[in-house]
Amino acid sequence: MKRVVKQLAEVRAERDELAVDERVLERVRGQLTDERTSTVAAPEQVGGRAWNRCGGSWPD
């Protein structure tokens, strides 16, 4: 019985660690999404003209 109680405690601790890892992953995923959105939305200046980094084309 002691072994089962110990295993249950270990499983609960691992579950808690995984929950923390999942929250960190979601936060980082959100940050990356925000960075990608801001990068795509802002064209850069190349030779005095706006240039879209993602498309690699000159806007009309």
- Strand bridging mode 49-51 / 44-46: antiparallel
For position 36, what pLDDT does the model report?
A: 81
37-54 pLDDT, tens per residue?
776 655 566 666 766 666
pTM: 0.54
Whether the pLDDT of residue 22 is over 80: the answer is yes
Sign of CA dihedral 15, 21, 23, 29: negative
3-20 pLDDT, tens per residue?
999 999 999 999 999 999
